[in-house]
Structure 1
Amino acid sequence: MIQGNYFQDNADLQTHFDNLIDWKEIVAAYEGDFHDAAKYKQTNDERYAYAPSSVQEAIDYYKSTVDALGEIMGDFVAPRSKEMDQTGLKYENGKVTFPKAQEECYKTLKDAGLMPISISRKYGGLGLPATVQSMMCEIAARADAAFCLAYGNINIVEIMERYASDEMCNEWLPQIAAGKFSAAMALTEPNYGSDLPNVQTRATQDPDGIWRINGAKRFITHACGYVDSPSVILTLARTGSPESGARGLSFFLVQGKDVHVAGIEHKMGLHCSPTCEVVFENSPGVLIGKTGYGLVKYSMGMMNAARLTIATQSLGIGTAAYFEAKKYASERIQFGKPIEKIPAVRKILDKMEREILATRCLVSETGRTIDLYHWKKERMLKEEGKSERDVNQDETIRRWEKLADLFTPMSKYYASEGCVALASDAIQIHGGSGYTEDYDVARIYRDSRITTIYEGTTQLQIVAAIGGVVSGMAASGHLRAYAEEEMSKFSPSTDLRSLWEKLEQVVHSYKSIGDSFTKDELAFETVEIAARFVAGMLLEKSLTQVDGDLKKQRIKHSQDYNIDSLAIAEGNLLRLERANRQAAAAV
């Protein structure tokens, strides 16, 4: 793997941080009136020692954190990625053993205090908005996709901070933030993958009030704990009747010591990330929040964050693939010159780069939408004392929440599918050498393949996004209003205007399909054009925020990306129009 600071050596990531992100609005949403800094001034409580007291201090704090992670991931973790992958995990009698190199990487990140990125300062976390968290996840995934899961696993306890009692949060979150525990999320069961409303793991209450969990969970990342950090497993279990569906599910904290890890999966990739099968036998659990809210509110409430995490992981893997391919193409001599000078190879590299630029725009904007609704909503509820009903009726909250609910499945689908394509292109550029394990691109490709599957397959992301695209493009829809507002900030090119018109035609044609089966089949084509339009619009908008040689490079990539999108849109529109003609002929 290429070594170096993975923030400083990534010009586009730095461009986003320095030029493209409106930090004033992000800081206002997340930091509010800088209450944490005020607490430190009043109490000298070390948990708030790094809390910023101004927008500039916040920017400096965020940047120093990202930069510190970039250095460790690029100079310490990346050089050990091959060893971790080839050594892999060992399982025996319910215990998982990790590669020595992985233990070193984990300890280094833990000692640096860079792991609790989504836990608030109140509980010993770093206190970072989603926009910054996504950058850190991308950097970690570029170094090693499997280790990225270990690095970030404790942050799933964000669900506790939102919904658990103060007593429970005070007991557990500081310990988890300090690395004394790792964390896992147990949703999936052997017979129920995405069909979570039918989960059958049971939770019953003893006469003395203790909840007991019985059942089995599968595909549970890090349920085994991590080195010297035993796990806490956030578990979805049924408290209602077997037929109660989603409303009969509740959420529990179960300690890893109280379950049996029956085995780990032998996977195509992510070799140093333990994917466990877990058996619960009268395992004591602590209820998180209220019964009956486990799926309909708590798990679904975390869906946007989960989707953004995989989108950023996908972007990190794709970025690793691109940088490795670019390096190889500059060094590999054929026909008396580096292969990067061969037009067919140059064409692949250029496409890889513009796809990464566009995807980063889309992923970054998704983080923005989460920050602009979630943190303002939390502050209105907790600091201003407003009711949930009043908060949910706030127009600004509703606008950004609608966009987040659309952009998160859209970016997860787009970034993960792009990730697999980028990894495949990297192998193609390496030729026969790329198909061997001598080069990192083989591992990168193996690791990339899971991204379109976990945290909801691409197909499920399309189902989640299609309603937001169709309703969002209505006369008063949120997507239409958002796009028109963004395009008013610059002069859209003719190609972008044409793509906007294609999107309107695609949505109109999709809505005209009367057969629900055909509609489901063609939802992908509709969401694809929406995703490419938003990404292309944001990439083109970025041209107004940079200058010099950087602007010249981005102009070419933006133009070529829009041409790619128009070609795809034309093909997708033909499919939709043919479906309408066939439906009309059948009548």
Structure 2
Amino acid sequence: MISNNYFNDNDDLIDHFDSLTPWNAVIDQYEQGFEDFAEFQKSGKEELTFAPGNYEDAIEFYRSTLEAGGDIAGNDISQIAKQMDEEGLKYKDGQVGFPKSMLDVTEKIKSAGLLPYGIHRHYGGLGLPSVVQSMLSECVSRGDGSLAITLGCMNLAETVERFGTEEMIHEFVPKMAAGELCGAMALTEPNYGSDLPNLQTKAVKGEDGVWRITGTKRFITHACGFGDAPSIILTLARTGSTTSGARGLSFFLVHSKDVFVASIEKKMGLHCSPTCEVVFENAPGILIGEEGKGLVKYSMAMMNQARLNIAAQAMGIATAAYFEGKKYAEERVQFGKTISNITAVKKMLERMEREVAAMRCILYEASFAVDQYRWKEERGKMKGLTEKDIKKDETFKKWEKLASLFTPLSKYYITEMANVVAYDALQIHGGSGYTEDYDVARLYRDVRITNIYEGTTQLQTVACIGGIVSGMTETGIYREYLKSEMAGFVSSSELNDLFKQFETVVAEFAEIDSTPLREELAFEVVESAARFHNSMLLERSVGRSKVERRAHRKSLTESYILDSAAVLAANLTKIRGKKKTPVTA
């Protein structure tokens, strides 16, 4: 793997940090008038020591955090990734052993103060907005996807922070921030993967008031904990009848010492990420939030953040694949010249670069949308406001809806295209890429899971389609967002034409009254939305970019819009053709 600072060596990422991200808008929402700084001035609370008092301090803190994380990612994590992958995990009698190099580099991350990046500073975390978290996750994932998942699990405190009692928050979250506890999400069961409403794991409340959980969960990442740190397992279990569906499910916190890890999966990739089968036998659990809202409220909120994290993971792996492919192409000589100068390879590299640029745009726009509502909710709770009071805010409602669309849209697009970029990187390496001598083989294996776990691409399509169709009506929130953003720059005739194509795709789809046909063609609409969304974000970025990068970004954007026009034309042809030939039973 290339050894370098994975933040500083990435010109496109630096462009996003320096020029494209509207930091003042992010900081306004996260800091809420720099309340933490003001409180530190009065109380001197240790956990608020690094709370910024102005925009410049906040941006400098974010930059220094990313530079430190990029340094460890590129000069430490990336250099042991191959060794970790080859060594893998050891399982015996319910216990999982990790490579020493993995434990050591995690300790280095902890010593650098970077471990609790996703935990609020009030509970011992770094206090980073979602945009910065995504940037950091991208850098770490470029170094190694397995380790990025581990760090993500050790930051899995959001659900407890948002929905737990004060007692629960103060009992568990600071321990996660200190690296004393890991986290895990236990949703999937052996016979129920994405079919969460029909889960069978049962929770029964005893006469002593303690909930006890019985059942089996599968594909549970880090249910075994990590090293010496046990896990708190956020568990979805049935408290209602077996026929009560989603309304009969509740959410619990279960300690890993109270369950048995029956096995770990032998996987194609991510060899140092433990995917566990977990047996619950009357395991004591602590109810999170209200009974019966485990799936519809708490699990869905948790999965939305997890999906954004997986998008960032895929973003990092795609970035690694692009840079590794580019490096190889610029060094490999064939027919008297480097293969980067061979037209067919040059064409692949150019497509990889513009796809990575588009992926980065949609990832950070989704993260920005989360920042525009989540912190208002979190700080409102700290001030004693009710959920009902917080959600009266029109701006809150707008960005919550947009984030609910952008999250699955980015998860689908980034993970699918990351697979394409890794495929192309391996192809550029030729026969050598098919061996384990080069890191691209591991990247190809690791990225394959990203469009499967935390909701497959097909499930992301289901999550997106309603928001796109309703959002593109005359008064729809997505149309309003697109029009507002396009009013902020002089859009090209090509982008305007693409918007008309997108409108036509949605309008033609909306006319379909056959449910089977709508289900069959939903992906074409979602893909069209993603292509236009990215085209708009790329073109918007040209005028905001650093002057020295504008010409290059404009070239990338023009090529991407051309590709998108072809995709939308094909999708419109499919929709019109299928409407003429209805689906038969």
1:564-575 equivalences under 5 Å are: 564-575=563-574
SS in 1 for 2:273: coil
Distance 2:191 2:181 in 1: 29
Root-mean-square deviation (Å): 1.3
Which structure 2 residue ranges, 5 or more long, are not aligned? none
TM-score calculated relative to the size of structure 1? 0.98
Asked if structure 2 preserves the Cα contact closer than 8 Å seen for 1:514 and 1:583, the reply is no
2:530 is equivalent to residue 516 of structure 1: no
The answer (yes or no) to whether the contact 1:513–1:583 under 8 Å persists in 2 is no
Q: Is 1:26–1:368's contact at 8 Å kept on the other side of the alignment? A: yes
**For 1:450, what is the secondary structure of its paired residue?**
coil
- Deviation, 1:303, is 2.9
Q: Secondary structure at the match of 1:156?
A: coil
Query: Aligned to 1:213, what secondary structure does the other structure show?
Result: strand
Shift of 1:283: 1.1
Provide the residue aligned with 2:3 in structure 1: 3
Offset at residue 322 of structure 1 (A): 0.1
SS state at 2:284 partner: strand
> Structure 1 counterpart of 2:105, which letter?
C
Distance in 1 separating the partners of 2:386 and 2:175: 31
d(CA) in 1 for partners of 2:303, 2:32: 24
Extract unaligned runs of 5+ from structure 1. none
1:25 offset after TM fit, Å? 0.6
1:114 equivalent to 2:114? Answer yes
In 2, the alpha carbon distance for the partners of 1:547 and 1:27 equals 21
Query: Which whole-Å deviations, capped at 9, do the CAs of 1:143-172 have from their partners, x for residues lacking one?
Result: 001111012212222100001100111111
1:430 matched residue in structure 2: 429
Q: Give the CA deviation at 1:548.
A: 3.6
Distance in 2 of aligned mates of 1:130 and 1:224: 27
Q: Secondary structure at the match of 1:498?
A: helix
**What pairs with 1:154-165 in structure 2 (closer than 5 Å)?**
154-165=154-165
**How far apart, CA to CA, are the structure 2 residues paired with 1:361 and 1:367?**
10
Distance 1:302 1:212 in 2: 22
> Retained in 1: the 8 A contact 2:422–2:444?
yes
Take 1:101 and 1:537, find their aligned partners in 2: how far apart are those partners? 43
> Which residue is equivalent to 1:468?
467
Give how far 1:111 is off: 2.0
Q: Quick check: 110-119 or 450-459, which moved more? A: 110-119
Amino acid at match of 1:427: L
1:369 and 2:369 are equivalent in the alignment: yes
Q: What amino acid is the match of 1:75?
A: N
Aligned counterparts of 1:171 and 1:496: Cα–Cα separation in 2: 52
Equivalent residue letter for 1:437: E
1:234-253 alignment to 2 at 5 Å?
234-253=234-253
Q: After superposition, give the CA deviation of every residue in 1:270-309 in whole Å (9 maximum; x if it has no partner).
A: 0010000000111111222221121111111223211111
Cα deviation for residue 214 of structure 1 reads 0.8
Contact 1:116 1:152 in 2 (8 A): no
Give the 3-state SS of the residue equivalent to 1:272 in structure 2: coil
Contact 2:119 2:125 in 1 (8 A): yes
Partner of 1:582: 581
Shift of 1:114: 1.1
Q: CA deviation at 1:452?
A: 0.6
Report the equivalent of 2:79.
Answer: 79
- The C-alpha deviation readout for 1:48-87, integer Å capped at 9, x for no partner, is 1111111111111111111111011111110000000011
Contact 2:155 2:182 in 1 (8 A): no
1:393 partner SS? coil
TM-score (norm 2): 0.98
Q: Which residue does the alignment assign to 1:191?
A: 191
Q: For the Cα contact (< 8 Å) 2:187–2:236, is it kept in 1?
A: yes
Aligned partner of residue 262 in structure 1, secondary structure: strand
Q: Measure the CA separation in 2 of the matches of 1:249 and 1:115.
A: 32
8 Å contact 2:321–2:440 — kept in the other structure?
Answer: yes
Per the TM alignment, residue 108 of structure 1 is displaced from its structure 2 partner at its CA by: 1.3
Q: CA deviation at 1:228?
A: 1.2
Report how far residue 381 of structure 1 moved.
4.6
Shifted more, 369-378 versus 497-506: the winner is 369-378
Question: SS state of the match for residue 282, structure 1?
Answer: strand
CA contact (8 A) 2:517 2:582 kept: no
Contact 2:376–2:390 at 8 Å: present in 1 too?
no
Runs of 4+ in 1 over 4 A off after TM superposition: none
> 1-side partners of 2:147 and 2:387: how far apart?
38
Once the two structures are superposed, residues 217-256 of structure 1 have per-residue CA deviations (whole angstroms, 9 ceiling, x without a partner) of: 0000011111111111111111112222111111111111
**Partner residue of 2:317?**
317
Cα distance in 2 for residues equivalent to 1:388 and 1:40: 27
Q: Is the 8 A contact 1:115 1:152 kept in 2?
A: no
Query: What is the letter of the counterpart of residue 537 of structure 2?
Result: L
Residues 486-525 of structure 1: per-residue CA shift (max 9 Å, x gap): 1111111111111100000000110112211111111111
Alpha-carbon distance in structure 2 between the residues aligned to 1:173 and 1:548: 43
Aligned partner of residue 373 in structure 2, secondary structure: helix
C-alpha separation in 2, matches of 1:257 and 1:302 = 23
Q: Quick one: distance in 2 between partners of 1:271 and 1:109?
A: 20
Corresponding residue for residue 278 of structure 1: 278
What's the offset of the Cα at 1:392? 2.4
Assess, with a 3 A threshold, how the Cα gap between structure 1 residues 132 and 547 changes in structure 2: closer, same or farther: closer
Q: How does 1:382-531 map to 2 (within 5 A)?
A: 382-383=382-383, 385-531=384-530
Report deviation, 1:451.
0.5
8 Å CA contact 1:109–1:151 kept in 2: the answer is: no
Distance (whole Å) between structure 2 residues aligned to residue 255 and residue 113 of structure 1: 25
Kindly provide the CA deviation profile for residues 121-164 of structure 1, in whole angstroms up to 9, marking residues without a partner as x.
11101111111111111111110011110122122221000011
1:63 is matched with 63
SS in 2 for 1:285: strand
- Between the aligned partners of 2:397 and 2:224, the Cα distance in structure 1 is 39
Question: Match for 2:129: what amino acid?
Answer: P
- Distance between the aligned counterparts of 2:106 and 2:377, measured in 1? 34
Offset at residue 348 of structure 1 (A):
0.3
Q: More deviation in 195-204 or 567-576?
A: 195-204
CA contact (8 A) 2:125 2:177 kept: yes
- How many correspondences in the alignment? 584
What one-letter code is carried by the residue in structure 2 that aligns with 1:110? K
Tell me what 1:33 maps to: 33
Q: Do the aligned partners of 1:224 and 1:231 also contact (CA within 8 Å) in 2?
A: yes
Q: Distance in 2 between matches of 1:547 and 1:393?
A: 39
